[in-house]
Structure 1
Amino acid sequence: MFTLFTPQTANKALPEVRRLFSNILMYKKQAVALQEQVEMIIQSGSQFEQFVKKKQELNTAVSNYYKAIEQLEATGVVIKDIEQGLLDFPSKRFDEEVWLCWKVEESEIKFWHAKDEGFMGRKPLESTGIIEP
């Protein structure tokens, strides 16, 4: 789904975005832990059965991780960096397409940047000209 957000609609979406993003982090943590377990099984020379079962668990965790990413991005929000918790909301500033920029520890959408700029190009929302689509 494609959606243009205003600061108001982006802030209204934040509770659901936070919930979906926390699911992504949870599934990623599970996948990393299972990968470590698979590697330990390989190093220990365990039986095939133990390896295959753990590998199947890992496959499920990785699949859940990617499904969670798809679920969040289906809202129209774009994940820029999972590790840093950077997400962007497509918007418009006058006639220019821009990103409303949000970092997971921020309480609300406070910044924006041009399409060709990243996090370092963030500017405060005050007097932005970002309008309702």
Structure 2
Amino acid sequence: MMLDWIDGGVSMFQYFTPQQANRILGEVRRRFNNIVAIRDEVLELQEELQSIVDHDASLQVYIEKKQELNSALTRLYAAIEELEAMGVVLKSIDEGLIDFPAKRFGEDVWLCWKSGEDEVKFWHGKDEGFMGRKPLPVSDESLV
């Protein structure tokens, strides 16, 4: 799916309104879920690799598993780049946090989404984290 602010795969910076963020949330969620699945694969491969080391397996088995891990890591970073090319920032895979750049009364802020939420409905200051989240008013005209 090609999005109008992505030109040839290279992201272009933009500020999001809550409506714009919610309009692309389905695709953001899909890409985030893919990242989680690849991250889980990476963790499993790391455990398998450690088991190979612990059980003194052959170098061939070790190298093959290590190459499998390298490929999974490459896919993970590519998936993160693909998500962030949409103009969003992945703050935490483990906590499921994604931020959308926005402006509030002329000040840079983040619109904040957490995995499991059905829409973008919080914001926080540029230098605040998840703990600084504030609910978006029903019609916040101050967010551009």
Secondary structure of the residue that 2:90 maps to in structure 1?
Answer: strand
Counterparts of 2:44 and 2:107 in 1: how far apart (Å)?
Answer: 43
Match for residue 62 of structure 1 among 73, 90, 93: 73
Q: Deviations over 1:31-89 (max 9, x none)?
A: 11111111111111111111111110000011111111111111111011111101100
Counterparts of 2:46 and 2:129 in 1: how far apart (Å)?
Answer: 31
CA RMSD of aligned residues (A): 1.0
Q: Which runs of 5+ in 1 are unaligned?
A: none
- For 1:114, the equivalent position in structure 2 comes to 125
Q: Which runs of 5+ in 2 are unaligned?
A: 1-10
Q: 1:94 Cα deviation (Å)? A: 2.1
- For 1:35, the equivalent position in structure 2 comes to 46
- For 1:125, the equivalent position in structure 2 comes to 136
Counting aligned pairs with the same residue, the percent is 54
- For 1:76, the equivalent position in structure 2 comes to 87
In terms of fraction of residues, the more helix-rich structure is 1
TM-score (norm 2): 0.88
Query: Which segments of structure 1 move beyond 6 Å, counting only runs of 4 or more?
Result: none
TM-score (norm 1): 0.95
Counterparts of 1:46 and 1:119 in 2: how far apart (Å)?
Answer: 44
Number of residues of Structure 1 aligned to a counterpart in Structure 2: 131
